[in-house]
Structure 1
Amino acid sequence: MVTMSRTAVVASALTTALAFAMPAAAAEPPPVNGHTDNWVNEGTPSVEYDNGYKVDSKSEVKAALEQCNDRSVSCAATPVETPTEVVKWFDVVNDSISGKPGPIGNCGPGQGDMVLTYGGSQTFTWGWNVGASVDVSLVKDKLGVGAKAEYSESNAVTGTGQVTLTIKPGERGMLKMGHDMERSVSDVTIQGGKFGGAKITGLRTEAPLKRDPRVGKDVNTCGAPLLNPEY
């Protein structure tokens, strides 16, 4: 026969209660390589006007979208999927070290560990899949995409960072910087304007969030790729 003391029963009940009360830890956003990632432009936006005319030229979709800046036109964006967060990473060239751009390499024979500290900056920008730079005011104020307080209020955010690299023999590496970005896909309904109205399908936006930039180390073996394919 199995017996359990009153204390054990109470402790078990408290443990169970705490397990339900404690929220699960938030999942870390997945990393993406900012040098090679092309999520923003992988989707093809299109616009269909109320008269049936449809086109998927980015320039024409952008022209339709810019009608939303006209006070006589009303526009609304509807998310077609749940926005997702990623951390977008970039290698930062060591401009502070004269004559040594690119990674710090320890690829020659007979060397010990190399220890080097350097800093740099990286700019993270809004993106959309209709070409040219993002009209942040239009996207946030007219469409309501990225209107939440945690979104950047400017087109670009620049962060600075510093790292101490320990490069072992047979390795090379760089400072890398990342920023939390939110990605969304929306359809935009336009009332008024050209042909009386239109619907834009598949508008992709990527926005930096109001968070501190992340700093890390991009280290790999000599001959193996780093984040930046140029190196």
Structure 2
Amino acid sequence: MRKRSSFTSLSSHGTRWPANRRIAIVAAVAAVLLTITGIVALLTGSRNSHEDPDTAAPVPTSSPSASEAASKPSSGSGSVPKPPQLSEPVAYARAAAQMLWSYDTRDTSRDQQLAGMRAWMSTESEYADWASVFGQVPDPVLWSRMADQDQHANARITEGHYPGAFKQALAKDPSAITEAYLYVVTVNGKQTLSWKKGGRGAEERAVTLAVQCRPNHDCTLAAIAPSVTQ
């Protein structure tokens, strides 16, 4: 039996898209997916439908306010890696998932964590759902408690892929994606957490990301998306 952390972790589970961002992003992705009956329902369904509740890590108990989520922290990025210069959606999604599942409260403040994560985001406001990413970071009190325990985590990515429904729709109408160049990618991996006195735990992870990869530009992260795992 795996030993679980008793502390809050950054994980990509349990955050719902705000309505305005969800509508914009789903509308763009739906341009590719309209040929699949019911695909919009898939995209807006529960992100937890494929998770094992016994292995999911605890999530932040508070949600950011609209003004807080819209803020742009600028205090440096601490241990958060810089976004890679990649133009291939699956490769970028794999790197983004590893970033989301890795953190170190020993040398990175909450503001630095947010600033580092923000650097991965698309600058196109109609498609970028910063709140879905921001919501993965615990509130200041919980982050402080994690820091008191020197909590840190790293991740190993096992695979990334386009969900079947996305591939089928794209094959039927390849030109549909040219409106926003948003790609839906599901990534799987394993997160390892460590804390004081040799504490250690490991969790399987899965996340579906909306990645924007316009031609002749590096990819960026648009959102942590609802689950589309087919």
Task: Tell me which structure has the larger Cα radius of gyration.
Answer: 1
TM superposition score normalised by structure 2: 0.26
Structure ranking higher in helix proportion: 2
Structure ranking higher in strand proportion: 1
